[in-house]
Amino acid sequence: MKSLNQEDRILLESGLPPVRTVDIEIPRLGEAPLAMTYRTGGPVDKPAIVLLHGIGSSSAGYRAQLAGLQDSFRVVAWDAPGYGQSALLRVSTPGVEDYADALMGLMSALDIGTATIVGSSWGSVIAAAFVNRYPEAARSLVLSAPNVALGHLQGEAKSREVEALLHAGKAMSPSDRVAMVDRLVAPDTPSAVRDHVLRLGVAVTPAGWAHAVYMVFSASTPPLVAAATVPVSIVVGDRDRMAPMVEHALKLHTAAPSSILHVLEEIGHVPKLEAPARFNQILRNAARVVDS
């Protein structure tokens, strides 16, 4: 089994900031505010980095970034609508634009005018949509372990895939959770990393999962990335079995040839926890590129 270097160990052993709650507004979905939870670190007057988690995760998945980037940045990790204590979106089958609007609502509520937007896996779809829908609010875009989404599926193929993903979100046995971790991380990943990944599903709610599944079928990520007007960085592990590089990250890089592709060797689907120091440096560079 691989061992963690000291820098990664310190980042992974860092405590999580407390969960905070703020009311956000999404005028398009009604006048009543929605409660949203998030974690944050760093001075409010520093450049902002906003972190969007994957479908089976939460703000807790970004402990190493909240700890490691707060010296130079205002770091905010959200609990997406329907995750943790964040309220569900008021729509039965939300599309990616609904999540993008919720993110804009959070940034407005926190008085964040512009930020580097970071999306992991499922969150990468929201991040790509956000920078297209609100280009004035994005400084740069980082897509980690990204996927191309499933907006291209139609008819029976779509129905089968929706049903399969909805079923995957049902309560897992302890052995099922361990098997899922095996798929998420690279072989020989240290137990400290595996333990963090194993705990990430705690904040997933059945309704939040279902909404997240429907969203994936509302978008196709490559054209969103191709249309981005901000600098784009793509981060992928060469051992990613959930979203293999050839099928996902390379397609996005091809769609946006000016994007920077970071391939992390011996890393799986969770670079932010499997290689936190390297991941943090990529975020630092992405957040500063617009100032160079």
Mean pLDDT per block of 10 residues along the chain (292 residues) reads 91 97 93 95 98 97 98 98 96 97 98 99 99 98 98 95 90 82 95 94 92 97 98 98 98 98 98 98 90 49
Q: Considering the domain boundaries, does residue 94 fall inside one?
A: yes
d(CA 250, CA 263): 10
Domain count, the chain: 1
Res 170: pLDDT: 80
Q: Helix, strand, or coil here: 45? A: coil
Q: Considering the domain boundaries, does residue 194 fall inside one?
A: yes
Q: Considering the domain boundaries, does residue 235 fall inside one?
A: yes
- Strands across the sheet with 138-144, in order? 20-24, 34-41, 74-78, 48-52, 115-120, 138-144, 232-237, 260-264
* Cβ atoms 276, 196 nearer than 8 A: no
- CATH number, domain containing residue 222: 3.40.50.1820
Residue 237, domain extent: 6-291
SS3 content of the chain, % helix, strand, coil (to 5): 45, 15, 40
d(CA 188, CA 8): 16
Q: Considering the domain boundaries, does residue 1 fall inside one?
A: no
Q: Considering the domain boundaries, does residue 159 fall inside one?
A: yes
Res 31: pLDDT: 79
Question: How many degrees, rounded to 5, is the angle at CA 288 between CA 287 and CA 290?
Answer: 95
| Other CB atoms within 10 A of residue 135 CB | 13
DSSP 136: G
Q: Helix, strand, or coil here: 233? A: strand
Q: Considering the domain boundaries, does residue 221 fall inside one?
A: yes
pTM for this entry: 0.96
Strands (E), the chain: 20-24, 34-41, 48-52, 74-78, 115-120, 138-144, 232-237, 260-264
Res 292: pLDDT: 46
Query: Hey, which residues does 36 pair with through a beta bridge?
Result: 22
